[in-house]
Structure 1
């Protein structure tokens, strides 16, 4: 097959998160299986065509994810005229492939679900305290204005471009059953078009060679420092853990996003909240994917207490490294850890559960190491290229057959899809 990926995120230029990791690994997997693969990606510094790790990559400089889709659509359409791609895959995020489909209405479209913007907003919203509401109203009165209602999270699926673009798909692929069920319900997706295929993962040798029997006394969080990732719950668990293990260090890896206080980013907020325990904290900021193996080799336990996570590639990386894992049961990580057989699962918004799970693994290193070894073996058996590659190829074939039956999309359908038929 001739397979095209459109994704603003793609290493190294726009390695912003799990989408970049997934697209790179999927492109490599499908190329190794004999398919012609090209990637259409964003960049902060260059425009042009390059061969990157044997994959043809088309990059354009784009200031943000939303503008990228319209720009890259033209690039894809021009390239399609000469290559004649069999299938196009894009993420639901920012509807990256929407404009490409409008320009090439006959192309079979696969949408890979990650985490839609509305879910990020829903689970990142912090309910205001009474004092915050009072400050909001008093501030308006001081300015001689009538107080408006305090901002709240709102969502209308009828106007969601990511939902409308997903409805255009010939095949919708969910990496976890959790995100499939959530969006079938929230977006009224046609469940006949939704398939469940985990992300393939090619573990770097450095991760697989990480010794299982480490004793670093370090607990690591990897991800954006934001509310949705459960960072506030971890912060509340830290004093509980230090009470029983005062020599433990907590490492936070990732960029600082907004905090509950407008005058502080999340790192500043955590440092203020945990000022009595600053000697136990380390903040690395953003790091490259190449630094992950070395960082995990200096970690005993990884904690991923997300309020919601559609999949959790950081969890897969920790599994491949054989780390002890404490993760949220809200979303895809519960499936990765098979209900807790390969790590410990905790409820969202539960600092006490986080502390209890971490203390259990600290008290019993043999248990931690056994879970780590089993987790590594699960990555190799469940998420390898042969197993996931075959599933992904079958998914593309279904998309191709559906589009062949339906014929090219109409201009109205590609601009304003109104049903999931």
Structure 2
């Protein structure tokens, strides 16, 4: 599941008798059924996987018939609900007008950052204006995402910041024991944990490895949204820089917390602004030092760099220097890492996110 889907899986714990309208089946549908929700799948033939956030609105023209059918089905589903909660770009764009027509309040959980690095100008204008007209609340995970929405033309009084929350159970065993069990090498080891995509910046870390002899890196994640070509270029880049033997591509994993605890540091190398940064919080909870690019919400999560090392985007030399410092003087980062874990526990727990969103939805329902 994507980060937004993982958030939704945790959020619905407060709404076990709700219904979920999904464009397709899969792991998210299974997780929501397990949480007690009634699942309603879109009619066969309604696949919208070809519509991505980085394409022109003109690409939607060939599937207008499917979009209209989905909108009609969504209107029917919305009539039986007190509040409609859209958890993705596609869900919001499709539900906006139907929910307005049937008179149901719409909450949009915006998991993206509406800026020029991620969306075209036309896309940003359409989404902001549609939100102003049809959404009673727009939930975002960070102040950076809120400002981007306002800059795109969205109304500030519609925005509520609710940081993503998650829980992580630590394995009490030492890192060396975890490495042995996970089949990871001994010696200096860092990790990158995210889906494989150009804007996630795994290539920058591979470039950085070439400047730190002896350092190995685990790359955890896969290409989720048609970015397989980029995944292939990462292996080619590692070979070109002479670090193929020091980069371990582990693919999609279900044991990320243990993998994080087994490395010496976690790198979050996004080259474009992040709306949140779930990986950062996971690493903070795992109790390992963090190196992150200063883009989007990273500075907000890491308290301006007090709880982790912030570097400029697209700077492998700065990542290499930061990792070398952590590896050379691990004791100097112990207190910062401890404080980072305390902040993550206090501010980014799943229960706090659930409570905040439940309160907001109750308010929306009461005013409807």
TM tier relative to shorter chain: 0.7 to 0.9
Q: Give the counterpart of 2:237 among 262, 270, 275.
A: 270
| Mapped contact 2:166–2:348 kept (Cα < 8 A) | yes
Aligned-residue CA RMSD in angstroms?
A: 3.4
| 1:399 counterpart SS class | helix
* Separation of aligned partners in 1, 2:95 and 2:322: 46
- 2:181 corresponds in structure 1 to none
- 1:419 corresponds in structure 2 to none
- 1:235 corresponds in structure 2 to 206
| Mapped contact 1:92–1:166 kept (Cα < 8 A) | no
- 1:253 corresponds in structure 2 to 220
- 1:173 corresponds in structure 2 to 139
- Rate the CA distance shift 1:332–1:50 in 2: closer, same or farther, 3 A: closer
* Separation of aligned partners in 1, 2:231 and 2:317: 26
* Separation of aligned partners in 2, 1:398 and 1:69: 31
| Mapped contact 2:222–2:231 kept (Cα < 8 A) | no
* Separation of aligned partners in 2, 1:190 and 1:340: 30
- 1:312 corresponds in structure 2 to 277
Equivalent positions of 1:338-357 (< 5 A) are: 338-357=303-322
- 1:40 corresponds in structure 2 to 21
TM-score, L = length of structure 1: 0.69
* Separation of aligned partners in 1, 2:71 and 2:173: 42
| Mapped contact 2:261–2:286 kept (Cα < 8 A) | yes
Shift of 1:333: 1.9
Q: Give the counterpart of 2:98 among 98, 102, 111.
A: 102
Q: Deviations over 1:105-154 (max 9, x none)?
A: 321111111126x75xx537xxxxxxxxxxxxxxxxxxxxxxxxxxxx95
Shift of 1:264: 7.9
What is the count of residue pairs matched by the alignment? Answer: 338
- 1:145 corresponds in structure 2 to none
* Separation of aligned partners in 2, 1:342 and 1:264: 30
- Rate the CA distance shift 1:322–1:210 in 2: closer, same or farther, 3 A: farther
Is residue 294 from structure 1 mapped to residue 261 from structure 2 by the alignment? no
Shift of 1:399: 3.4
- 2:57 corresponds in structure 1 to none
| Mapped contact 2:264–2:289 kept (Cα < 8 A) | yes
- 2:83 corresponds in structure 1 to 87
| Mapped contact 2:129–2:154 kept (Cα < 8 A) | no
Q: Deviations over 1:54-81 (max 9, x none)?
A: 3314153663345897666566555555
Is residue 26 from structure 1 mapped to residue 11 from structure 2 by the alignment? yes
- 1:198 corresponds in structure 2 to 163
Shift of 1:181: 0.7
* Separation of aligned partners in 2, 1:51 and 1:94: 19
* Separation of aligned partners in 1, 2:92 and 2:274: 21
- Rate the CA distance shift 1:345–1:93 in 2: closer, same or farther, 3 A: same
* Separation of aligned partners in 2, 1:349 and 1:228: 10
| Mapped contact 2:22–2:29 kept (Cα < 8 A) | no
- 2:148 corresponds in structure 1 to 182
| Structure 2: gaps (5+ residues) | 52-62, 179-185
TM-score, L = length of structure 2: 0.78
- 1:3 corresponds in structure 2 to none
| 2:39 counterpart SS class | strand
* Separation of aligned partners in 1, 2:18 and 2:34: 12
Equivalent positions of 1:92-171 (< 5 A) are: 92-96=88-92, 98-99=94-95, 102=98, 105-115=102-112, 119=115, 122-123=116-117, 155-157=121-123, 160=126, 162-167=127-132, 168-171=134-137
| Mapped contact 1:342–1:374 kept (Cα < 8 A) | yes
| 2:37 counterpart SS class | strand
Bigger radius of gyration among the two: 1
| 2:138 counterpart SS class | strand
Shift of 1:305: 1.4
- Rate the CA distance shift 1:76–1:154 in 2: closer, same or farther, 3 A: closer
- Rate the CA distance shift 1:44–1:301 in 2: closer, same or farther, 3 A: same
Q: Give the counterpart of 1:379 among 344, 353, 359.
A: 344
* Separation of aligned partners in 2, 1:281 and 1:48: 34
| Mapped contact 1:324–1:372 kept (Cα < 8 A) | yes
